Amino acid sequence: MHIVTGGAGFIGSNLVRDLLDRGHDDVVVVDDLSDGHKFVNIADLAIADYIDKDDFVERLQDPGFRSSIKAVLHQGACSETTEWDGRFMMKNNYSYSQVLLHHCLDAGVPFIYASSAAVYGASENFVEQPDQEKPLNVYGYSKLQFDRYVNRIAASPASQVVGLRYFNVYGPREQHKGSMASVAFHFNNQLREDGEARLFEGSAAYGDGEQLRDFVYVDDVCAVNLWFLEHPDASGIFNTGTGKAQSFNDVANAVIEFRGKGRIRYIPFPDTLKGAYQSYTQADLTKLRASGCDVEFRSVEAGVKHYFNALAGK
């Protein structure tokens, strides 16, 4: 079995799709469908089985079940950067991940998991080094603490352990994420409803809509996961982004170009985000490329076009 935790979520469901497209007929989704709206992400996917996230941990106690697992691609997490219940966040993102890590290490099973660029927070250099890790919220801290645990427990693993620090991912199957969906998703909805995309005014040293992020298309993120799955000798924690920051204006203009009309309106920067907002992110890909991973990343313009063509069934 190829296990994808968070398999009904945004990145997880796209990863499930790609595994199926590559001929894996043994893909098992592990998730929590308390939010039943997520079922649409896997309704069109011919998965081998679905297991609740809590039941999965119990099933791992069965040696027969555990021996049937070929790899665990751990995408499940609470990814809401506005969630400040630290106890919940650490149980969900840290403790649960620890359990899966140890089962995979004990069984010699590849473990590829989702980390996050949120571990860098206030840093302006996005390199996989401890002095650049400065999270601004408890979500980022939960991801950083697990990365630290991996570095301590699995510094030289006998089986593969890979952490991927995702930057700003966008693409199909994110509609259930609400406010946490990508800006491309929100700009498209705003343009459809009101004819305008609403961007923040300038903040810090950045002009209106000129805050910069490393926006990475979900298919490219999945391609990195699958590259590591196909290269089991590669382990470590790696940035997963394009390596080229682009502005929110670039995203809005790409969506406007796709739709053929629309305008941008700038709104005041929220007081609640001051001091807790990443105005700039850009993945340093030196370590990823040194691993041998040669996945090419789309620009915002190419990714947005592919995204909305996919939604239109083209």
What is the domain range of residue 291? Answer: 2-170+216-242+284-297
Q: What is the Cα–Cα distance from 258 to 265, expressed in whole angstroms?
A: 18
Question: What residue ranges in 184-269 does DSSP mark as E strands?
Answer: 196-200, 212-213, 215-217, 236-240, 246-247, 263-267
Backbone angles phi, psi at 116, to 5 degrees: -160, 150
To the nearest whole percent, how much of the chain has pLDDT over 70?
A: 99
Q: How confident is the model at residue 3 (pLDDT cuts 50, 70, 90)?
A: very high
Contact assessment for residue 129 and residue 236, using Cβ atoms and an 8 Å cutoff: no
Which has more pLDDT, 124 or 73?
73
Is 230 among the domain residues?
A: yes
Residue 82 has pLDDT above 80, yes or no: no
Question: What residue ranges in the chain does DSSP mark as E strands?
Answer: 2-5, 27-31, 49-52, 71-74, 111-116, 161-166, 168-170, 196-200, 212-213, 215-217, 236-240, 246-247, 263-267
Is 211 among the domain residues?
A: no
To the nearest whole percent, how much of the chain has pLDDT over 90?
A: 85
Q: How confident is the model at residue 313 (pLDDT cuts 50, 70, 90)?
A: confident
Q: What is the pLDDT of residue 155?
A: 82
Is 6 among the domain residues?
A: yes
Is 47 among the domain residues?
A: yes
pTM: 0.95
Active site annotation includes 177: yes
What is the Cβ-side half-sphere exposure of residue 84, based on CA atoms within 13 angstroms? 3
Is 261 among the domain residues?
A: no
Contact assessment for residue 47 and residue 7, using Cβ atoms and an 8 Å cutoff: yes
Active site annotation includes 305: no
Instruction: Report the domain count for the chain.
Output: 1
Q: Indicate the burial class of 251 (C-beta count within 10 angstroms; 0-12, 13-18, 19 or more).
A: buried
pLDDT digits (tens, 9 = 90+) for 269-291: 998 887 777 789 999 999 999 99
Residue 69 has pLDDT above 80, yes or no: yes
pLDDT digits (tens, 9 = 90+) for 212-266: 999 999 999 999 999 999 999 999 999 999 999 999 999 999 999 999 999 999 9
Q: What is the pLDDT of residue 79?
A: 72
Q: What Rg, from alpha-carbon coordinates, does the chain have?
A: 19
Q: What is the pLDDT of residue 91?
A: 93
Q: What is the CATH number of the domain that holds 108?
A: 3.40.50.720
Which has more pLDDT, 150 or 124?
150
Q: How confident is the model at residue 312 (pLDDT cuts 50, 70, 90)?
A: confident
Contact assessment for residue 135 and residue 116, using Cβ atoms and an 8 Å cutoff: no
Contact assessment for residue 57 and residue 92, using Cβ atoms and an 8 Å cutoff: no
Is 209 among the domain residues?
A: no
Neighbours of 132 (CB within 10 A): 16
Q: What is the Cα–Cα distance from 305 to 290, expressed in whole angstroms?
A: 30
Q: What is the pLDDT of residue 53?
A: 96
Q: What is the pLDDT of residue 142?
A: 97
Is 268 among the domain residues?
A: no
3-state SS, one letter per residue, for 228-251: HHCCCCCCEEEEECCCCCEEHHHH
The active-site residue, picked from 120, 139, 170, 307, is 139
Is 194 among the domain residues?
A: no
The active-site residue, picked from 50, 53, 94, 177, is 177
